[in-house]
Amino acid sequence: MNFVPEKQQQVTQIHASLIIAVVTAINDPSLMPELERALTLSEENGWKQLVSGIRRIIKGDRDSSILNGMDEEDSMILDAILRGIQNPGTLPDANKEADPALAAPMFAQLIHAAATGDASALSMLGSMAEQMSNTQGDLARFSTLIKPMVDGERDIDRLCGKIGPQGESLVVSIISELAKLDAH
């Protein structure tokens, strides 16, 4: 499956902790109970297809046909897991922050959808926020700003009071994208 490289990199980076956790647990079965708890929580948050694909990989399925029927984001995550199993050098850096310029349109779409009642978008944002909260720096602090933005907060000063320059750049970009979406 061919993905736009920038988008694939962004999705992979956002979900780095999950991708790394799956590959690590496959290589060290003692970590499987902790991974299974995370998968169960992800499944409860609406990521059923993704979790199904991950469980197939855990059981030993390494065929790219596992991507069939998955949405683009799930396919990118599963593809990153499969590549990481074959070559751990392809795994994303769990400590690297996502590029705000690439993330803003995606977050704005999800926030807008969640604010207008889309339960799957809200669930996806919840899962992403949970994963981001397990990182450090602006990405972890940004995870606490998602709910206020879904609830309609657009004041950049309120949102960015405890976040660094890169996180502020992301928030400003998201607010700009949300303004475009709200105008339609």
150 and 125 Cβ atoms separated by less than 8 Å: yes
Question: Which of 28-32, 38-42, 101-105, 167-171 has the highest mean predicted lDDT (pLDDT)?
Answer: 28-32
Q: Using DSSP, state whether 136 is helix, strand or coil.
A: coil
pLDDT band, very low/low/confident/very high, at 1 (cuts 50, 70, 90):
low
Mean pLDDT across 70-83: 90
pLDDT of residue 101: 58
pLDDT of residue 96: 65
Residue 135 has which token pair? 């990182």
Residue holding tokens 């349109």? 105
pLDDT at 22 over 90: yes
DSSP H helices in the chain = 5-14, 16-27, 32-44, 48-58, 72-86, 100-115, 119-133, 138-143, 146-150, 156-159, 165-183
What are the residue boundaries of the structural domains of the chain, listed by start?
Answer: 5-90, 100-183
